[in-house]
Amino acid sequence: MSPRLERIDTPRLALRASDSTMAAAVAAYLQRNCAGHAPWNPPMAESLFTTDGQAERLAAAMRAETEGTQIGWWMFRRDGNGDVIGHARLSQISRGPFCSAMLGYAIDGAYEGQGLMREALEAVLADAFGPRVGLHRVQANARPENVRSLALLDRLGFRREGLALAYLFIDGDWRDHVMTAKIHPLWPIGQPPPWNR
């Protein structure tokens, strides 16, 4: 992977790479959305809702990004007040014959239904499939009940590949997830991965 990218701008958003200086804004975002995200995301340690906890988590994220195992983006409105309004993360980045990553994302409940997550993920995927990151495949999973998230993945060109039973512990039980993936749209048929990444 090429050097760290600090920011991606879209028409309405600034996507900023993980940085411990945004710990207070990230903690506030998670506090605001704790109940709204609970049906869709695994439970989080109480410490992650604090500035100190997020400072540690963001520092760890920066190390992982330097090592090339994840890429995290925090969403800000370009015309906003500096509040974090969402995030997207490519995790479990693998190279070699897999050349793939897992995509996770969430948005502040106050900003749902405005097309902002689609705008953000289009930029994240362009980077993921572009020369800097160079992935062949991006996977994303969502609960079958999360109709809005699955519709977004459909619009972004992800294909549904199956159902993972009891996949994640979320909201008090082990929850099934629809497995989806998007393949690099311009990857030449039969081209091997770049082995030297």
- Full DSSP string of 56-89: HHHHHHHHHHHHTS-EEEEEEETTS-S-EEEEEE
Confirm if 182 and 125 have CB atoms less than 8 A apart. Answer: yes
Strand-strand pairing, 71-77 and 13-17? antiparallel
Give the residue-averaged pLDDT of 76-90.
Answer: 95
The pLDDT of residue 2 is 65
At residue 91, the 3 state secondary structure works out as strand
Name, in order, each residue with C-beta under 8 angstroms of 130's C-beta and a sequence gap of 6 or more. none
**95-121 residue pLDDT tens:** 999 999 999 999 999 999 999 999 999
Q: What's the chain's average pLDDT?
A: 94
- Confidence (pTM): 0.93
Query: Which two tokens mark 82?
Result: 């500096």
Spatial neighbors of 103 by CB under 8 A, at least 6 apart, are: 88, 89, 90, 121, 124, 128, 138, 139, 140
pLDDT band at 196 (very low <50, low <70, confident <90, very high): low
The Cα 87–Cα 76 span in angstroms is: 9
Domains of the chain by start residue, with CATH: 7-183 (3.40.630.30)
